[in-house]
Amino acid sequence: MRARDVLSYSFSAIKLRKLRAGLTTLGVVIGIAAIVALLSISQGLQSTITAQLERGFATDTLIVTAGGGGGFGMGGGLGGGGDSGFQLLVSDTQTINGLPNVDSSVAIMQRVVNNVSVGGTNKTGTVTGVDFAGYLDIYGDTFKASNGTIPIPPANDSIVVGKQVVDPRLNGTTIAGVNDPIGFTWINATARPPTTITFSGHISAVLNEIGSFGVGGPSDSGVYVPISQAQILFETNECDMIIVKLKSSDQAVIDNASSAIKNAFSGEVSVISATAVLGIISSIFSVIELFLGGIAAISLVVAGIGIMNIMIVSLMERTREIGILKALGTKSRTVLLIFLSEAVIIGVIGGAIGIGLGWVLANVVAIVFRGGGAFAGNQAAVNGGMTITPILTPTVFLGAMAFGIGVSVIFALYPAWRASKLKPVDALRYE
């Protein structure tokens, strides 16, 4: 029998049992849709996080924090386990600037404060003390004013704010603008007795909308004061981190500069590079994808058992038909092919619909996520609505298709083999 005739024969057999074949196909559809939806959302999420991180944390920058342990935590900033009592000081930038491969560096001091009062509203926020000139040098793309100008050198009461501070919903409805007053209250809980420090200034510049979060980089909800003021206000010379800009983003430069910085502080600091963070994120996502894919694969295996079941039932019903085919001179191999191609047809149709459905599902989830669940964190580095665009890579597309067909064929092998082994005389006699 020619390949085309085998296919059309199989197709006619499937068409005869539409409901049954439809339900079997549905099993494959659900399995494939689950795989495609989960993987494309997870890849979309990874790409969103990676892209945002790359914007907020350029590959030619390093982050230096106190503590040799090298602990890394997202959100609340980076913090090592500073057990040794080592303090990273604002003035340590001078040491770092003197090292080879270092272009510039900037110290950052962050405090969560109560009552950021602006335009008649009060809320909790994060105040970042930073050298505006140095910050601008490293984050020229995002530390950019949409209104006003970033003052260099800044006056003592100059404050630069992220877009969301004056436009809380990021929809153009502003509650304050350039030159409007802004103030905040910080409680120094380490002083005995705890002291309350109040600061009043005015808005010098409002940043462009950034839309991403960065490690150390500017954010839409940030309130930036000159580092010299921060040192006075927060009554310390200790900074939370130093962002280092390197002369190039070569891996060798990153490695050399990292160890040079560590050595300069006798191993009491942690140095994290963007590539390392991206590497960690990528490996975390590989595990997540494997896990999600594995769960979805189980549903496909269940579908495969469904295929096997329907094939065995179909084999019983069609024993006589197989006898006829064999009596007319059909080779055993052809009978095997007829049954396998029925499975392939189910796999292809199920796979195609499943990929489409999975893609739609992923987009629906993304839309729901975008609409309802924006992380409106106002104190951490994570802020703003995170937009996930599901990504369907050719690997996932082809892999899902191949997996759907593969499972269908594997589970059809046994029934097909049994069909091909039937003896014509016995099959014809079967009632």
Partner 1 sequence: METIVEAVELKKTYLLGKVPVNALDGVNLKVDSGDFLAILGPSGSGKSTLLNLIGALDKPTGGKLMIEGTDISTLNDNQLTDLRRRVGFVFQFFNLIPRFTARQNVELSMSIADVGKSERIKRANSLLETVGLKDRMEHKPAELSGGEQQRVAIARALANDPKFLLMDEPTGNIDSKTAMEIMGLIKGLNEGNGVTVIMVTHDQRLASQSKKTVMMLDGSIVQETVN
Q: Would you tell me which residues interact with partner 1 (CB under 8 A)?
A: 1-2, 5, 9, 12-13, 15-16, 320-321, 323-332, 334, 423-425, 428
Note whether 106 and 305 are within 8 A (CB).
no
Residues 393, 43: contact at Cβ < 8 Å? yes
8 Å CB contact between 246 and 102: yes
Give the nearer residue to partner 1 in terms of CB position, either 17 or 202: 17
Q: Which helix (H) or strand (E) holds 214?
A: none
For partner 1, the closer of residues 4 and 192 by Cβ is 4
Tokens read off for 428: 């014809």
Is the preceding peptide bond at 193 cis, omega within 30 degrees of 0? yes
Task: Kindly report each contact of residues 44-47 with a partner whose C-beta sits within 8 Å and lies 24 or more positions away, as own/partner.
Answer: 44/362, 44/366, 44/388, 44/389, 44/390, 44/391, 45/285, 45/388, 46/281, 46/282, 46/285, 47/389, 47/391
For residues 6 and 422, give the distance between their C-alpha atoms in angstroms, rounded to a whole number: 18
Looking at beta carbons only, is 22 or 183 nearer to partner 1?
Answer: 22
Task: State which residue, 163 or 326, has the beta carbon closest to partner 1.
Answer: 326
CB of 16 to partner 1, least distance (A): 5
C-alpha dihedral sign at 139, 248, 380, 40: positive
Between 14 and 113, CB nearer to partner 1: 14
Closer to partner 1 by CB, 92 or 342: give it. 342
CA–CA dist 225, 233 (Å, integer): 10
* Shortest reach from residue 415's CB to partner 1, in Å: 19
Q: Least distance to partner 1 from the beta carbon of 304, Å? A: 26
Task: For the CB of residue 334, give the shortest distance to partner 1 in the complex, in Å.
Answer: 7
* Radius of gyration, alpha carbons of the chain: 32
Please report how close the Cβ of residue 20 comes to partner 1 at its closest, in angstroms: 14
Which of 111, 326 has the CB closer to partner 1? 326
Q: Judging by beta carbons within 10 Å of its beta carbon (0-12, 13-18, 19+), is residue 358 exposed, middle or buried? A: buried
**Minimum CB distance to partner 1, residue 347 (Å):** 22
Give the chain's largest Cα–Cα span.
101
Tokens representing 152? 């260099």
Q: How far is the CB of 311 from partner 1 (least distance, A)?
A: 18
CB 411, min distance to partner 1, A: 24
Within 13 Å and on the Cβ side, how many CA atoms surround 51?
13
Per-residue CA distances from 74 to 78, 94, 236, 269, 327 (Å): 7, 27, 24, 18, 71
Q: Of the two residues 21 and 41, which places its CB atom closer to partner 1 in the complex?
A: 21
C-beta of 155 vs 327, nearer to partner 1: 327
Task: State in angstroms the smallest separation of the CB of 326 from partner 1.
Answer: 8
Query: Phi/psi at 295 (nearest 5 deg)?
Result: -60, -45
**Tokens standing for residue 75:** 């959100």
CB of 306 to partner 1, least distance (A): 23
Q: What is the DSSP letter of 37?
A: H
**Shortest Å, Cβ 17 to partner 1:** 10
| Residue (of 395, 294, 349) closest to 29 by Cα position | 349
Contact 350, 32 (CB under 8 A): yes
Q: Phi and psi dihedrals of 74, rounded to 5?
A: -80, 160
Q: Which two tokens stand for residue 183?
A: 């103030």
Of 245 and 326, the one with the shorter C-beta distance to partner 1 is 326
Shorter beta-carbon distance to partner 1: residue 335 or 381: 335
